Amino acid sequence: MSQAPTENVLELTNLTKRFGGLVAVDDVSLHIKRGEVFALIGPNGAGKTTLFNNVTGLFQPTSGTVVFDGRNITGSKPHEVARLGIARTFQNIRLFDYMTCVDNVRVGRHVRMRAKVWDSLFKLPRERREEVRVTEEAMDLLKFVGIQRQAHQYARNLPYGQQRRLEIARALATEPKLLLLDEPAAGFTPQEKVELMALVKKILARGITVFLIEHDMKVVMGISERIVVLDHGEKIAEGPPDEVRKDPRVIEAYLGKSA
């Protein structure tokens, strides 16, 4: 029997990650509602990407729990997390440089493919049909993010902004319920940032919840419904954008006490 959807797509409870004597994430609890844009902000070194890595299985939490879609996934491996419906992009773009854009996206479909090893070995009809379908779906996603004309170019030859879009397309190919974006606007021009915000809204319209790390406050304030602020691994504020931007602890974390 299928599990009924919960109101919160992601719940972190007392999440802590230590590296020896360094506490990178310190007893953080938060929840993300289904269908919202939720932002995680904070100064460099605050523990934001480490928190992402704990959610997606790249790191194992020292303590605390990660619950996704009503299921405890604490300690799950990255491929298990992806299969359950969490996808991500990276702060430093990670693409297959010498593969075409369409093939990069096709790789993202691997977690949803059904053909077996022998189907591929003997080029059975099932495998051929799936290859055609996966290619069509990859092309649709390239069109969705606005780079379909670059489908057959090597990923390394794309401008930086289009590489970001390609990485988002590959993440969407896994059919996520929750998409984690790690600094998606980094290095973007003002126009590209506007286009990114429009793309995030299109992703939301597909029923995908978005959890993002971002330093550009115009982007954060423009698309986020709720924000959590980390400083030295600790949660120091949480709430709607207008509330968080006025919080004295947030101002101090970003600008120092003299501000």
Better-scored residue on pLDDT, 115 or 20: 20
Whether residue 5 is predicted with pLDDT greater than 80 in this model: the reply is no
Res 257: pLDDT: 60
Closest CA to 182 of 106, 250, 82, 94: 94
Res 189: pLDDT: 92
Share of the chain above pLDDT 90, in %: 75
Res 108: pLDDT: 87
Whether residue 141 is predicted with pLDDT greater than 60 in this model: the reply is yes
* DSSP assignment letter at 92: S
Dihedral, 201, 216, 50, 255 alpha carbons, nearest 10: -150
Rounded to the nearest 10 degrees, the angle between the axes of helix 101-108 and helix 125-145 is 110
Task: State the average pLDDT over residues 18-22.
Answer: 93
- For residue range 29-74, what is the model confidence (pLDDT) as tens digits? 999 999 999 999 999 999 999 999 999 999 999 999 999 999 999 9
Name the 3-class secondary structure at 165: helix
Reported as a pLDDT band with limits 50, 70 and 90, residue 259 is: very low
Whether residue 144 is predicted with pLDDT greater than 90 in this model: the reply is yes
Q: Which stretches of 69-105 are assigned E, i.e. beta strand?
A: 71-72, 86-88
Task: State the average pLDDT over residues 205-225.
Answer: 94
Residues shown for the chain:
259
- For residue range 223-241, what is the model confidence (pLDDT) as tens digits? 999 999 999 999 999 999 9
Whether residue 118 is predicted with pLDDT greater than 50 in this model: the reply is no
CATH class of segment(s) 1-85+176-259: alpha beta
Task: State the average pLDDT over residues 184-202.
Answer: 93
Res 115: pLDDT: 52
Res 255: pLDDT: 62
Q: Parse the chain into domains and list their residue ranges.
A: 1-85+176-259, 95-173
Q: What is the pTM of this model?
A: 0.89
Whether residue 1 is predicted with pLDDT greater than 50 in this model: the reply is no
